[in-house]
Structure 1
Amino acid sequence: MSHLSIDSLRSLSDAHPKPSHLRFQYGTAGFRTLGSTLDSVLFRVGVIAALRSKKLDGLTVGVMVTASHNPEHDNGVKIVDPRGEMLEGSWESHATTLSNAPTTDDFLEAVDALIRTSKIDVSKPARVVYARDTRPSGITLVAALEDGLSALGAEARNAGVTTTPILHYLVKAINTKGTPDSYGDDSEEGYFHKLGTAFKSLVGGRPPLEPLLIDCANGVGALAASSLAEYLGSSLPLVLENTSISTPGVLNHACGADYVKTMQRLPPSLADRLKPGQRACSLDGDADRLMYYYLDERGTFHMLDGDKIAALVAAFIVDLVKSAGLENDIKVGVVQTAYANGASTRYLFERLPVKCVATGVKHLHHAAEHYNIGVYFEANGHGTVLFSQSTQSKLAQYQPSTPAQSTALTHLINLIQLINQTVGDALSDVLLVETVLAHKSYTGEEWDSLYVDLPNRLVKVVVGDRNAFRTENAERRLVSPPGLQAKIDELVRRYDGGRSFVRPSGTEDVVRVYAEAVVRSQADGASSFSLPAYCN
């Protein structure tokens, strides 16, 4: 570590001691727990992010301080790799190791070991851009992060209070600046301009869209949605609700995408705001999840989740590819998890390839990269569309032979600009959904009628050891405990259209039991089997 200031690293590390009674784990969402316990983690993440940048010859790495849909007292942090994607898997374990070093001496040893085993040239520059959401604990956690960055002399850029997807956008825009693959201007204004311009082109000449109500979860999405509304102007009037970003305790409370998906009901704060037939949607606390819904003429609530978004978007893109005359050259595919409703899988399977992967954004994202155009949405409303580099080049060079082909080609090229391909982005996805609804002249009810969800239940069962439950086939079947899968199969056979699976939680000693069937009472029955022999 000759090129690093060990004295500076030591003294700053001493200022951020690790709580002796806690163990931290870097997972799909990075580190996430009570915000009051994360000071040492944020300092060490600053060091890790700087080392990651040095390892990558000074490319800019991102750090986002957020706990997304979690309650306000939680917080977290995740590292974003240079293409705007999630941190490389091997570095997740490095982050876990360094965050759990008990003392400063142990931490310095772990840093030295990482430098040696990863062959990091510490004389290389380190560049990091970072941001936070609106959580009160974010201010002090960012200060700890800044200490970690300064300990390694990183060139740091504070992007302030913004959404997770905008931070991902900034990372990619910074690293592609001035290249043929430029992703856009590396500023918030560049993000809004890129999305707004593409959207206006896509809906231009069509009947004006009715106002869209957006539940901002009293989070950072309220700030971004307000800025986006200015760029959109009359092309899409936005009515923003739950925008109290400075009121203590209201972030994600009885509102937001996770509330809507979990409770399958309208946020209470919107009860007097939403009219029958009006389109509405909810963001989560950092604006990377999206849940649509509407009330029918009788005032009954209908949810349009990630599965419904995937069906709407994928079918639209398949139609555009065909209209452009490119169906033999560009293959569109959809990636789902076992939680996807069986009716959505059937609807999609009739139109394009569908792949099922293990739960977790990184699994979906990597699988989607194998298609020319890959669509992925988790049922919880997190998702995006990926256009491969070769597909983008093909579209840029393609010579259409009819006016209809030319129009479809223009739409596809604008979609590339509209969609944030780095990560699921609720605001980008809002514009994507609204584009399809405008082109199809669909109401929420017409969109909902593409297919009818099979009744389903998702329940949690507390177990003694979640590690006793191991799965295969994209988490759809258990391989242990022995005999349990056979009992599930036997039960499922009793019900029409029955399907059920059990998978362990990644963070707590519970298993999640999902079940669906043609009739609601049967779905309830398929999810209520007892696991007493396996839960001790």
Structure 2
Amino acid sequence: MPPSSLRVVYAFAREMHPKTSEVFIQYGTAGFRTKANLLEHVVYRMGLLAVIRSRVKNGRTIGIMITASHNLEPDNGVKLIDPDGEMLEQSWEEIATRLANVSDNDLESTTEQIIKEVNADMALKASVFIGMDTRYTSPRLAAAAVHGVIALKGTPKEFGIVTTPILHYCVRCRNDNTYGTPTEEGYYEKIVGAFKNIREKLPVGGEYTTTLYVDGANGVGGKKLNIIKKSLGDELDLVLYNLGGNGGKLNLNCGADFVKVSQQAPVGVEHKPWQRVASLDGDGDRIVYYYLDDKEKMHLLDGDRIATLLASYITQLLSACGAQLRLGLVQTAYANGASTQYITQQLKVPVTCVKTGVKHLHHAAQAYDIGVYFEANGHGTVLYSENAKNTIKKIAEEGEVEQRKSAGLLLQYIEMTNETVGDALSDLFLVETALCARGQGARQWMQAYTDLPCRQLKVTVQDRNAISTTDAERVCTSPEGLQTRIEELVSGYSSGRAFVRPSGTEDVVRVYAEADTQQSADKLSAEVAQAVFDLAGGVGSRPELPA
């Protein structure tokens, strides 16, 4: 593409999407995320970058998702989706950051530099899929993305309001038609169709009931479940709350993140004792479960619990069909120590611990024949290698009668899984299938192991880069003396564990602690926070130890 044809890049920026803020913005695990009014020029430029990325990938389709996920309504964000439905390749995060922050006057020359750097053939066709969440700012931002795609002569296709995982799925299908049909309807046919097929083969019994309450976080996930609900028949009775009406605000006092962090039931949900409730997040890529007991105490079934349930059920099916495959589970340091112990000692499943961030978990899960990964916040999925799929398919066709039956169930379970990214809707169906197969309600699921009490705190510091870590963020390497102090503090508590890590987005240090009682976990976290404050340049008031 000759330089003269790049002039439209500047023209679109100047006339329609000018950079009006000097606030520096960085591409992270979740893409760009900030107040929506600071994002229009950024999203326009991501339209440009998506076209360049598509051409580097020989014209394969790239995705742009407009969402701020579990953040509150005034925020918004944008992230790019690579051809296989995965997160943007990490080496391109710096390119995205550079393009987002240059002045309008330098935009044309920077775009030209990037095209040369990545050796993009600008004569190739380029395809970009665009989706958005339910925020009132999303349509305007989606329009900016479209203009960015058009400015570099790419072809945009708008999907309107979809969950983030549906767009990931559609991008994957567009580039690999063996995975499915690249439409929202194709997604339902694959995921929901597999759920209905598998549930027809599973009798409902034991403590399991087909009624499931769902907190939709006043976002897109609840709206899509409302569409799906009609096709489920007697297999699953969804009772939906927080669908965005009656003045409910997106993610405000509801949704997966609120439930996980506050350890409180969301507003807007009517509860019965022991009734299973699933809470989605605003863009439908996270899910946690909980129930209230007869004293209205909340019992949380988070990402760790979901991971152990799915790994346990898949292990059961693998054993029944005789498949010799390596299944592993991937966690972060935030996973409760009791879950790790249960997985390794009871399930006899290997565990890999990685740095916080879905891209790290996803890549580590690919090392196994079957890799289960979840963050404690409820974001995760299961990945199956081609070897695993072929092995199970062969058993389903050629094995003994009982082996064929179990392999057939596992093939439907694979079909029900959105392997591209964590998906609240797909994960919901995976959980409900595992519980039904075992005749378990939420209480029986909870009884698999007992979580260690834990506490998370954050300490404001002058510069978060003063903190460095290693060993999947479990060991602090700087400032000098901090790790030694943490180890001294931990040694004073039964079942004690603690780590610190710098935030990826703000000048705070996150502190996590576990111990045998809640009082001890609270005290240990406060003592570690105080050590961080003293040794890493704390700002403001010192952390207070609990009385």
Task: Give yes or no for TM over 0.5.
Answer: yes
Residues 338-487 of structure 1 aligned to structure 2 (within 5 Å): 338-350=333-345, 351-398=348-395, 399-487=397-485
Shift of 1:4: 7.0
With 279-288 and 187-196 compared, the bigger mean Cα shift is at 187-196
Q: Distance in 2 between matches of 1:246 and 1:176?
A: 41
Partner of residue 161, structure 2: 161
Q: Distance in 2 between matches of 1:505 and 1:84?
A: 26
Partner of residue 199, structure 2: 203
Q: Distance in 2 between matches of 1:300 and 1:37?
A: 41
Partner of residue 523, structure 2: 525
| Letter in structure 1 aligned against 2:449 | Y
Query: Any conservation in 2 of the 1:5–1:151 contact (CA below 8 Å)?
Result: no
Aligned pair 1:310/2:307, yes or no? yes
Shift of 1:381: 0.3
**RMSD, matched Cα:** 1.3
Q: Distance in 2 between matches of 1:123 and 1:246?
A: 50
Shift of 1:48: 0.3
Query: Any conservation in 2 of the 1:43–1:147 contact (CA below 8 Å)?
Result: yes
SS of corresponding position for 2:291: strand
Q: Distance in 2 between matches of 1:219 and 1:66?
A: 11
| Letter in structure 2 aligned against 1:197 | G
Q: Distance in 2 between matches of 1:20 and 1:162?
A: 29
Q: Distance in 1 between matches of 2:25 and 2:227?
A: 36
Q: Give the counterpart of 1:193 among 178, 189, 195.
A: 189
Shift of 1:140: 1.0
| Letter in structure 1 aligned against 2:479 | P
Query: Any conservation in 2 of the 1:324–1:400 contact (CA below 8 Å)?
Result: no
| Letter in structure 2 aligned against 1:201 | N
Shift of 1:20: 4.2
Q: Distance in 2 between matches of 1:447 and 1:225?
A: 23
Residues 45-444 of structure 1 aligned to structure 2 (within 5 Å): 45-104=46-105, 106-177=106-177, 182-205=178-201, 206-207=203-204, 209-244=209-244, 247=247, 250-270=249-269, 273-326=270-323, 329-350=324-345, 351-398=348-395, 399-444=397-442
Q: Distance in 2 between matches of 1:140 and 1:401?
A: 55
| Letter in structure 1 aligned against 2:268 | S
Q: Distance in 2 between matches of 1:394 and 1:218?
A: 42
After superposition, give the CA deviation of every residue in 1:121-144 in whole Å (9 maximum; x if it has no partner): 100111001010000111111111
Query: Any conservation in 2 of the 1:192–1:231 contact (CA below 8 Å)?
Result: no
Shift of 1:211: 1.2
Q: Distance in 1 between matches of 2:398 and 2:457?
A: 51
5+ residue gaps, structure 1, are none
Partner of residue 21, structure 1: 22
| Letter in structure 1 aligned against 2:377 | N
Shift of 1:103: 2.5
After superposition, give the CA deviation of every residue in 1:206-241 in whole Å (9 maximum; x if it has no partner): 128421110000011122111121232221111110
Q: Distance in 1 between matches of 2:181 and 2:55?
A: 24
Query: Any conservation in 1 of the 2:13–2:19 contact (CA below 8 Å)?
Result: no
Q: Distance in 1 between matches of 2:535 and 2:231?
A: 55
Shift of 1:393: 1.9
Query: Any conservation in 2 of the 1:216–1:282 contact (CA below 8 Å)?
Result: yes
Q: Distance in 2 between matches of 1:246 and 1:296?
A: 28
| Letter in structure 2 aligned against 1:499 | R
SS of corresponding position for 1:240: strand
| Letter in structure 2 aligned against 1:299 | E
Q: Distance in 2 between matches of 1:525 and 1:4?
A: 64
Shift of 1:429: 0.3
Q: Distance in 2 between matches of 1:269 and 1:226?
A: 17
Q: Distance in 1 between matches of 2:371 and 2:298?
A: 31
SS of corresponding position for 1:184: coil
Shift of 1:107: 1.2
With 393-402 and 348-357 compared, the bigger mean Cα shift is at 393-402
Relative to structure 1, the CA distance from residue 126 to residue 3 in structure 2 (aligned partners, 3 Å threshold; closer, same or farther) is farther
| Letter in structure 1 aligned against 2:73 | E
After superposition, give the CA deviation of every residue in 1:112-167 in whole Å (9 maximum; x if it has no partner): 11111111110011100101000011111111111101101111110011100000
Q: Distance in 1 between matches of 2:194 and 2:283?
A: 23
Relative to structure 1, the CA distance from residue 414 to residue 3 in structure 2 (aligned partners, 3 Å threshold; closer, same or farther) is farther
Query: Any conservation in 2 of the 1:162–1:220 contact (CA below 8 Å)?
Result: yes
Shift of 1:5: 2.1
| Letter in structure 1 aligned against 2:319 | K
* Number of equivalenced pairs: 526
Q: Distance in 2 between matches of 1:454 and 1:465?
A: 31
After superposition, give the CA deviation of every residue in 1:299-335 in whole Å (9 maximum; x if it has no partner): 3210000000011110111111111111xx3110000
Question: TM-score under structure 2 normalisation?
Answer: 0.94
SS of corresponding position for 2:383: strand
Q: Distance in 2 between matches of 1:454 and 1:370?
A: 29
Shift of 1:268: 2.6
Query: Any conservation in 2 of the 1:333–1:353 contact (CA below 8 Å)?
Result: yes
SS of corresponding position for 1:232: coil
Q: Distance in 1 between matches of 2:246 and 2:137?
A: 12
| Letter in structure 2 aligned against 1:367 | A
Q: Distance in 1 between matches of 2:21 and 2:232?
A: 50
Relative to structure 1, the CA distance from residue 360 to residue 55 in structure 2 (aligned partners, 3 Å threshold; closer, same or farther) is same
Query: Any conservation in 2 of the 1:218–1:251 contact (CA below 8 Å)?
Result: yes
Q: Distance in 1 between matches of 2:228 and 2:453?
A: 36
Query: Any conservation in 2 of the 1:193–1:231 contact (CA below 8 Å)?
Result: no
Partner of residue 11, structure 1: 11
Query: Any conservation in 1 of the 2:33–2:76 contact (CA below 8 Å)?
Result: yes
Relative to structure 1, the CA distance from residue 246 to residue 445 in structure 2 (aligned partners, 3 Å threshold; closer, same or farther) is closer
Relative to structure 1, the CA distance from residue 309 to residue 66 in structure 2 (aligned partners, 3 Å threshold; closer, same or farther) is same
Q: Distance in 2 between matches of 1:455 and 1:72?
A: 31
Shift of 1:396: 2.1
SS of corresponding position for 1:168: helix
After superposition, give the CA deviation of every residue in 1:361-385 in whole Å (9 maximum; x if it has no partner): 0000000000000000100000000
Q: Distance in 2 between matches of 1:290 and 1:75?
A: 20
Shift of 1:534: 2.2
With 187-196 and 338-347 compared, the bigger mean Cα shift is at 187-196
